[in-house]
Amino acid sequence: VASADFLIHNADLVLTCAGPAPRRGLDQNNAGPIAGGAVAARDGRIVFVGTTEACARSIPVAADAFVIDAAGRTVVPGFVDAHTHAVFAGDRRDELRRRLAGESYASIAAAGGGILATVQATRDASELSLVDESRPRLAEMLRNGTTTAEVKSGYGLETRTELKILRAIATLDRTQPIDLVPTFLGAHEVPPEHARNRRRYIDCLVDEMIPQAAGLARWCDVFCEQGFFTPAESLVILRAGIDAGLQPRIHADELGPSGGVNVAAALHARSADHLVHTTSAGVDTLASGGVVATLLPIAAFYLKLGRYAPARDFIGRRVPVALGTDLNPGGGFSSSMASAMAIACFAMHLTFDEALVAATLNAAYSLDRHEDLGSLETGKLMDAVILNGDPIGLLRLGSSPIEMVVKRGRVVWTS
Ligand SMILES: [Zn+2]
């Protein structure tokens, strides 16, 4: 047996969130607890998960190994944020202040704010400044325990800038600890220069942008919502993505029932996201298509949508539920997966275990990275978060129990 070069032992509790992925239905309510647990790794991969006693019996530890005594602590998998728009230029925090004072998003957008303000700032930014502006956001996500995150383009809405964002994501992936999963979201909105001929923008997406994005992105996404992209347009765009080697995922039913769930099921998309307005029939549609429901309760909260996705219906009908933060410059105001879990528990009525599995294993499955990460299991990456005390402390908004973040067998952040 090769010896471990990294060891966490004596933990009060290890929550493995072990697969098989995804966990759905009643199985989602099991975070795989091991009391008195240990996790050992070598070269960044887990070689043992079990009790500290069994670890001491079976796993030799190298003399120069990095050893953490986790007495009084809980160990959970590194969080996987399945939906972010974390790479953008500019700042729209003032819009939050205006919305709180009663101004509508429509009036802010008409005055040059909203998503198009971010598009303008991102078009104007150099690739280097885009990377530099986004780096602190990723550092904050890391402090919040996120070790893998999906990041979308979608603030260019033209070939040059969309590719610039995807290259910035690739640079950030190489130069900070969080693993980034890139998604092409050229179909975030129709840009103003095509507003009077949206067909031309869709042709541009299909004929020009998607083929060029294919070398840089893994996923293709569409904002399928009334006033943005129709289900028929979404099908055309996502099929072009599939032809270019990009797996489909979709924004659906955030602002109203959009028909996006039918698109997701028809394409067997891995994930449909938001789903705030998904009907009972829509839940069945996702179940029949084998689609993951990636829920973003932080967005519903900050946008004051007044309702949340029907998470209990998804779990009741065996649709795997995953979580993301939807970190973005408009309404995605928190990068904390623990906050997403807290709202998921207290507004969408998940149990703690269901929320933790949603934030780890099922989020990894939503990104098709579950073979490599999302749980503490032998063979997977040694990505973990060490918490002070009872893991329920994760649900305390504004008070983080996170003491240490581990990525690929290296401590990358300590409190
Ligand atoms: Zn989004």
Across the chain, mean pLDDT equals 97
CB 170 within 8 A of CB 406: no
Distance 10 CA to ligand 1 centre (A): 40
Distance 108 CA to ligand 1 centre (A): 19
Q: What is the pLDDT of residues 45-74, one digit of tens each?
A: 999 999 999 999 999 999 999 999 999 999
CB 210 within 8 A of CB 200: no
Q: Looking at the predicted structure, is the pLDDT value of residue 269 above 90?
A: yes
Q: Looking at the predicted structure, is the pLDDT value of residue 129 above 70?
A: yes
* Residue 234 backbone dihedrals phi, psi, to 5 degrees: -60, -40
Distance 367 CA to ligand 1 centre (A): 14
Distance 60 CA to ligand 1 centre (A): 45
Distance 326 CA to ligand 1 centre (A): 5
Q: Looking at the predicted structure, is the pLDDT value of residue 1 above 80?
A: no
pLDDT confidence band for 106 (50 / 70 / 90): confident
Average pLDDT of 247-269? 97
Distance 83 CA to ligand 1 centre (A): 6
Distance 352 CA to ligand 1 centre (A): 24
* Residue 246 backbone dihedrals phi, psi, to 5 degrees: -100, 130
Distance 50 CA to ligand 1 centre (A): 37
Whole-number Cα distances in Å, 198 to 147, 155, 233, 337: 38, 17, 10, 36
Distance 38 CA to ligand 1 centre (A): 36
SS3 of 73-136: EEEEECEEECCCCCCCCCCCHHHHHHHHCCCCHHHHHHCCCCHHHHHHHHHHCCHHHHHHHHHH
pLDDT at 174: 98
Distance 385 CA to ligand 1 centre (A): 25
Average pLDDT of 210-220? 98
Distance 142 CA to ligand 1 centre (A): 20
pLDDT at 295: 98
Closest CA to 341 of 394, 289, 299, 393: 394
Side chain identity at residue 299, one-letter code: A
Q: What is the pLDDT of residues 295-340, one digit of tens each?
A: 999 999 999 999 999 999 999 999 999 999 999 998 889 999 999 9
Cα(192)–Cα(215) distance, integer angstroms: 27
Distance 372 CA to ligand 1 centre (A): 24
Distance 293 CA to ligand 1 centre (A): 13
Cα(160)–Cα(122) distance, integer angstroms: 11
Tokens of 149: 């995150």
* Residue 134 backbone dihedrals phi, psi, to 5 degrees: -85, -20
Distance 304 CA to ligand 1 centre (A): 16
Distance 221 CA to ligand 1 centre (A): 9
Distance 274 CA to ligand 1 centre (A): 8
